[in-house]
Every structure is written in structure tokens, then in C-alpha cells.
Amino acid sequence: MRTLFKNIKELIQVREEKITFLSGAAMSILPTIKNAFLIVENETISDFGKMENCPKENFDKTIDVTGKMVLPSWCDSHTHLVFAGNRESEFVDRIKGISYQEIANNGGGILNSAKKLQATSEDELYNQSKVRLEEIIHLGTGAVEIKSGYGLTKDAELKMLRVIKKLKENYPIEIKATFLGAHAVPSEFKYNKSGYLQMLIDDILPTIKKENLADFIDIFCETGYFSVDDTNKILKAGKEVGLVGKIHVNQFNSIGGIQVGVENKVLSVDHLEEMREEDFEALKNTKIMPVALPSCSYFLGIPYTPARKIIDEGLPLALATDYNPGSTPSGNMNFVVSSACIKMKMTPEEAINAATINGAYAMNLQDKVGSITKGKLANLIVTKEINSYHFIPYSFGNHCIEKVFLKGKEIKK
Ligand code: NIG
Ligand code: FE
């Protein structure tokens, strides 16, 4: 099956060579081809170029996209989109002045979601989660990482990971799974945090390995949750069973989590709303991807990740949604890209690079998605008729997507 996209007003994020990720000043360059064609052969991109060089042969399908742009699908490297129910009552509590941390200390927060998830069957959890997955696919996401971490018991954590696995089997979107058992200390282990960590390591990790249920391991390294030592322990245990590290770090406090992440060669450090000078320094000359989650800052009213300083210091940056019921009940990468420009002063070029190729790297998917490159999956966004790609972040709260394609096939509503 060969499909031709012709008369593309602008083909965005064109990379002739496969690249791993972009840092610093390189993030401000977004290569494009104006008046372009793109050929998809079965699931992958097989050719592209200027319309004047478009092959004249017959195609199985020709799609004329006059006035519209084509870009690679968004790569959302940080979500918790498998969850049960919602937490809208906590949202109202926060409006009335109770803080996110106070709610968590009173048994709300992650523990509230865990209680709901434990009482939800695997089928029901799958059904709730697939609605969210379908929703983000239509919002242009073509690769997504999904975490466990709302189970907090062996059964419930494995239930979450099995739901992620089933989503992966049933949907054409690229999915990576992360084991986040160390998301919060459950009440049964309130006075025995080390016992909880040992349970994660001794009881759950072997099953994850045996059933190949996760790609990455994550931990919430934060005051009141897990310490730097706990983080070190979990990352090392994960590594033993082949899981690459990621960390929730520096969301409310900078306690040395970034440094332990560097020591353990994690793939990404996520959140970073609170950064000390030494945290920027620690990330230099590493291959670690910092990940900013601006819709979490928006929803909680906490500081935005200092994206400008991160990039100006020469570091890379990815953007992700953090889709979860507590701090970010939204999986909309279009809003994330807009917020990055509006609130974090990233240019549209930097934001689009951060939400495509750098996001792909943060999931170890840079060879498959994140740019218009021959041999990569044809996971594509076709925009509505727009004047320039600046309109994508400009039209915040809205989106410019007309059609989405995954593995070369249009995903219809
Ligand atoms: O990434 N910070 C930790 N975990 C999630 C939110 C958890 C929740 O409130 O349910 C996050 O923001
Ligand atoms: Fe998160």
C-alpha cells in the first residue's frame, strides 16, 4: 500500500538523518519543506521532498492537502492515563484553599486514586483507560508512555501494567510502560516504608520481568514521598531486571534527586519545577532528557519548569502532559505546546522539537517516531488550513488538527 500526500503547504520537522535528541541552541531550528510531498509505504515514511520532484507514478491512494501542513505526531513521554474514576472533589477543595500537599496528607491524592483503582476490575479499568487513549490519539499523540503507580499493592500494580499491555496490543499507537510502584507509601506501610520498597523489589519486579510488563522504572523522589536513598535503591533494583530509570523529581523541593538520577544514568528527569543551580550543572554532559509538564503547573498553580534557563544552559528539554487524575486531568499535547510557548517562553520551534523528537528520545523511541525521516513510522498530524506553524501554539485551548494517521492509516472518529 503506497499513499501519496501531495501539495503539503509545509512539511514540518524534516530530518534527513536519524537524530537522537536536540539540546540548547539546536532546539531553535525546526527544518521544514514548503510545498512538499510525502510518500507512505505500508506503515512507514518512504520518501518526501519538494512538490516539483514528486514521482509521477500511480499510488494506491492520493491525499491532496492543499493549504494544510503535515507534522509528526506528538510524543508524550509522561502520562498516568490508566486510572480509575476521577478526583474532581479535590479540585474543588483546592479552589477553596486546601493545598495539593494538604489533601495528600489527609489521605486524598494518590492514595485516593489507589483506593478507587484497587476496587475496579481489570476489564473496567481497561474500558475507562481506552477512552482516554482514544481521546489523545485524536488530539495528535502518536507515541505515549503510561505509568503504573495507582495500585500500590502487588495485585493492583500488576493489574495496571496488564491493562497497559492490553492497550498496547489493541491500538496502533506506540506505547511504553513504566513501573511506578514507588509513587506513594500506602497506608498499610505508613510506618514501614522500607518494607513497602522491599515488597516492590522482591514481590513485584520478578513478575514484571517474567511477563515483560514494563520498559522503565520510576519513583516519586520528593519530601513526604520517597527519599534520595529510596530512589537510588529502586533505580538499582530496576536496572537488575533490565528496566531503565525515569524519575519524578524536583516537583516541590530540590532534595538531590537529580544527582542520584545522574549517578544511575536515568533516561529522563521529569517535573523540575524547583531547580537549584547545581541541578542544572548535574545534568550537563549527560544523556538525560529533562521533561517539563506545563499543564501540571497550570492545573496546580505551581511554578513552571524554567525551560528558558534549561535550554539557554545548553541542555535538552522534552514536553509531556503528565495526564493523571490529581495534578493534570488532561492529555492534550496541543495545550502543552501552547503553554510551553506562553508560560515558559519557548519558541514554537523549541516547543515542537520538545514535543516530538525529544519526547521520542525520553521513551527510547527516537528511531521509530518524532520526525519526518525515511524509515520512521508514518504517525502523522495533518493540520487544518493554517498560515504558519506558529498558529499551532498560538491557537491555545484549541487545536489545528484535521486528521491523524498512525502507521500510515487514518484514525477516524
Ligand atoms: O506526576 N507527582 C506525582 N505524581 C503525579 C500526580 C499524582 C496524583 O496527584 O495523582 C504527577 O503529578
Ligand atoms: Fe507524573
Ligand 1 mutation pick, 81, 178, 183, max ligand atoms within 8 A of CB: 183
On whether the CB atoms of residues 178 and 138 are closer than 8 A, the answer is no
Q: Do 2-72+371-410 and 74-361 show the same overall fold?
A: no
Measure 405 CA to ligand 2 centroid, in angstroms.
27
**CATH number for the domain running over 2-72+371-410:** 2.30.40.10
In this predicted structure, the answer to whether residue 110 has a pLDDT above a threshold of 90 is yes
Instruction: Please state which of the ranges 102-111, 390-399, 404-413 shows the lowest mean pLDDT.
Output: 102-111
Calculate what percentage of the chain has a pLDDT beyond 90: 99
Report helix, strand or coil for 47.
Answer: strand
* pLDDT, tens digit (0-9, with 9 covering 90-100), for 20-77: 999 999 999 999 999 999 999 999 999 999 999 999 999 999 999 999 999 999 999 9
Q: How confident is the model at residue 107 (pLDDT cuts 50, 70, 90)?
A: confident
pLDDT at 106: 86
Is the separation of the CB atoms in 163 and 200 below 8 Å? no
Q: Which residues contact 56 (CB under 8 A, 6 or more apart)?
A: none
- Render pLDDT for 189-211 as a digit per residue (tens, 0 to 9): 999 999 999 999 999 999 999 99
Cβ pair 161, 177 in contact under 8 A: yes
Residue 111 has pLDDT above 90, yes or no: yes
For 46, residues 6+ apart whose C-beta sits below 8 A from its C-beta are 2, 39, 40, 374
CATH architecture of the domain formed by 74-361? Alpha-Beta Barrel (3.20)
Domain parsing of the chain, residue ranges: 2-72+371-410, 74-361
CA dist 145 and 40 (Å) reads: 25
Cα of 171 vs centre of ligand 1, distance in Å, is 25
Q: State the pTM of this model.
A: 0.98
CA–centroid distance, 47 to ligand 1, in Å, is 41
Determine what percent of the chain is predicted with pLDDT higher than 70: 100
Q: What is the pLDDT of residue 33?
A: 98
Q: What is the dihedral of CA 345, 350, 356, 360, to 10 degrees?
A: -90
Note the pLDDT tens digit of each residue in 155-173.
999 999 999 999 999 999 9
pLDDT at 18 over 90: no
**Atom 1 of ligand 1, nearest CA residue:** 322
Q: What is the pLDDT of residues 285-295, one digit of tens each?
A: 999 999 999 99
What's phi and psi for 9, nearest 5 deg? -60, -45
The response to whether residue 324 sits with its C-beta less than 6 Å from ligand 1 reads yes
What are the tens digits of pLDDT across the range 281-323? 999 999 999 999 999 999 999 999 999 999 999 999 999 999 9
- Characterize the bridge pairing of strands 68-72 and 380-385: antiparallel
Average pLDDT, the chain: 97
How much is the pLDDT for 269? 99
**How many angstroms separate the CA atoms of 374 and 352, rounded?**
19
